A and B are shown apart, each in its own frame.
Chain A
Amino acid sequence: MIEFKEVSKTYPGSEEPVVKDLSFEIPEGEICVLVGPSGCGKTTTMRMVNRLVEITSGDIEIEGESIAAKSATELRRKIGYAIQGIGLFPHRTIAENVATVPKLLDWSKDRTRERVDELLELVGLDAGQYRGRYPAELSGGQQQRVGVARAMAADPPIMLMDEPFGAVDPITRTRLQEEFLNIQQNIKKTIVFVTHDIDEAIKMGDRIAILQQGGVLAQYDTPARILSEPATDFVASFVGTDRVLKNLSLTRVKDVRLEPLDGAGNGLPRISENLSLKDALSELIGSGTDRGVVYPDESPNGNDARGVITLDGIRKMSRGVAGE
């Protein structure tokens, strides 16, 4: 668990704090996304956790221990760090890059090599093929995978990620996000994730901290609650006028109550139960009907329909969202 206790940061020579009286907790094993417009202090907030930025007042505790208790380098070796520019060492091979922290921690060669190969496979890179290459020989997406693998190398319980999927095209980004969420399901790290993109925040976050100018915490909540109950006008405008749709994108068809299928459902569109409500809505509107038959992914042409989803049903689901 990471606990921010009235944390403030004012840079020398400046009157205005960049982060002001920040207090919140990040539960173990969750992804907390810090999001906000540029200049809101989100990156500063993240960098205070591993003391790349020193706190002016207040304290941050990790597992109940102040981050000031140990030397900064000792602290940092136990916190994974992945950044937008990736910052791979251009003069070191992929294996050497991933092995950076294990080497600092004096791991044996065998243990390090095993771990490096395991991590490269985990992030979807063939170890035999990529181990000996230099970063410049990899594509942007592959470099970001290596950046994430390097951050996880010594299996730190906490990871800091500053727009780690920022420098790639949208398609690659979506894939990296999904792969990382899959990995996170198994590794359950406590993650501080910085982004300026509210959609990424909603997708990646178990909790979202929305910061506004001056480093003030506007709202700290789950994505669903931020979308359905924005605490202030600033939050409402920051999440956007399409927040109802965004909220629908958080729920899958299989997680809602469907109406029973009466009759064969002939002529109705077939909808996979793994689609989000937003995608299901799009399918219904696109096919010009107000009902669709829901099937499991495994047998989309079989006869094991799960039920029927209707425009009305989706509308009811979104009511809570819109706060009507």
Chain B
Amino acid sequence: MNNGFAIEEEGQPFIDWAWILRHFWGDGGIVDAFFQHLYLSLVPVAVALAISLPVGIFVHRKRWLYAPTTALTGVLYTIPSLAFFVMLIPIMGTGQRPVLVALTAYSLLILIRNTVTGLDSVPEETKDAARGMGLTNRQILLGVEIPLALPVIVAGIRIATVTVVGIASIADFIGAGGLGDLIFDGIGRQFATPIIVGGGLVALIAICADLGLYRIEGWLRPWARRAGKAA
């Protein structure tokens, strides 16, 4: 009994609603951190996608490039994120830029690999039939290969997004802001509310992105959906 009383006295309530209301809007508030976090995670995925599509298509054509490309991006992927951020500070200083660069690098491995895998999954006889009917290489790429690879590419975007949303939480370590700001603030002051709010919102973004992209993936292959129904 005594013990329980003591904890209640020295701890705070599990969620301090008053704190949330006070820090909702405004500079460095919850909403601000939320949008910073979105920015920190979505921009790298978008940039990585813009790089990966042409690189993936090129690597798919020039097979011998596949091993060196995945080796290089694989090495980038194994660098621990915090070390990566810190490594970039001498070149780009602190703030958002090194974070954006590092997260783009992480996304590259996933996206290039999925682009190549997606293109590889297009059946050989489908391409052969297309060529035999007189489609040009460009028509085969745009009309057959990319549409058929797209679900696999979107699956890659899903993995990359979820990964990057998570890693972006430690971006605040080098002053990039985001929801990590709330989490570190809470840890520093031994105050649970910002940790729960920050962590919860990170999870929310990741889950929404995952489900949303999953829906898009299914929508991109209506043929599989219908065949599933027919079976």
Binding site for B on A (CB under 8 A): 50, 52, 72-77, 81, 83-91, 100-101, 104, 133-137, 147, 150, 160
- CB–CB B129/A83 < 8 A: yes
B43 at the A interface (CB under 8 A):
no
Given known contacts A87-B130, A91-B147, A91-B148, is B125 in contact with A73 (CB within 8 Å)? no
Which chain B positions have C-beta within 8 A of A85? 123-126, 128-129
- Cα–Cα, bound, A52→B134 (Å): 10
| Chain B residues numbered 108-167 whose CB sits less than 8 Å from any CB in chain A | 123-136, 139, 144, 147-148
- CB–CB A91/B223 < 8 A: yes
- CB–CB A137/B133 < 8 A: no
Task: Identify the closest chain A residue to B131 (Cβ).
Answer: A52
CB distance from A92 to the nearest CB of B (A): 8
CB distance from B21 to the nearest CB of A (A): 50
B18 at the A interface (CB under 8 A):
no
Select which of A90, A91, A104 is within 8 A of B135 by beta carbon: A104
Which chain B positions have C-beta within 8 A of A76? 131-134
Which chain A positions have C-beta within 8 A of B144? 89
Which chain B positions have C-beta within 8 A of A81? 129, 132-133
Interface residue tally of chain B, by bracket?
A: 20 to 34
List 15 additional A-B contacts (Cβ < 8 Å) besides A83-B125, A88-B129, A90-B123: A52-B128, A73-B134, A73-B136, A74-B134, A75-B134, A81-B133, A85-B123, A87-B125, A87-B126, A87-B130, A91-B221, A100-B130, A136-B226, A136-B230, A150-B133
| 17 residue pairs bridging A and B, Cβ less than 8 Å apart | A52-B128, A76-B134, A85-B123, A85-B124, A85-B128, A87-B125, A87-B127, A89-B130, A90-B126, A90-B148, A91-B147, A91-B148, A134-B226, A136-B223, A136-B224, A136-B227, A150-B133
Binding site for A on B (CB under 8 A): 123-136, 139, 144, 147-148, 221-224, 226-227, 230
Which chain B positions have C-beta within 8 A of A137? 223, 226-227, 230
- CB–CB B223/A135 < 8 A: yes
Task: Identify the closest chain B residue to A50 (Cβ).
Answer: B132
- CB–CB B132/A77 < 8 A: no
CB distance from A283 to the nearest CB of B (A): 42
Task: Identify the closest chain A residue to B151 (Cβ).
Answer: A91
Which chain A positions have C-beta within 8 A of B130? 87, 89, 100
- Cα–Cα, bound, A61→B139 (Å): 27
Which chain B positions have C-beta within 8 A of A90? 123, 126, 148, 223
10 tightest Cβ-Cβ pairs between the two chains A and B: A87-B129, A85-B125, A76-B134, A136-B227, A81-B132, A77-B134, A134-B223, A87-B125, A73-B134, A87-B126
Which chain B positions have C-beta within 8 A of A75? 134
Which chain A positions have C-beta within 8 A of B127? 87
CB distance from A171 to the nearest CB of B (A): 23
Pick the most buried of B126, B130, B224, B226: most chain A CB atoms within 10 A of its CB. B126
Which chain B positions have C-beta within 8 A of A91? 147-148, 221-223
Which chain A positions have C-beta within 8 A of B226? 133-134, 136-137
CB distance from B146 to the nearest CB of A (A): 10
Which chain A positions have C-beta within 8 A of B147? 91
CB distance from A168 to the nearest CB of B (A): 15
- Cα–Cα, bound, A74→B136 (Å): 10
- Cα–Cα, bound, A83→B147 (Å): 22
- Cα–Cα, bound, A197→B65 (Å): 41
- CB–CB B227/A88 < 8 A: no
CB distance from B30 to the nearest CB of A (A): 43
- Cα–Cα, bound, A72→B129 (Å): 14
- Cα–Cα, bound, A30→B230 (Å): 40
- CB–CB A77/B133 < 8 A: yes
- Cα–Cα, bound, A86→B132 (Å): 12
Task: Identify the closest chain A residue to B223 (Cβ).
Answer: A134
Which chain A positions have C-beta within 8 A of B123? 85, 87, 90
- Cα–Cα, bound, A147→B125 (Å): 12
Which chain A positions have C-beta within 8 A of B128? 52, 83, 85, 87
Which chain B positions have C-beta within 8 A of A72? 134
Task: Identify the closest chain B residue to A137 (Cβ).
Answer: B230
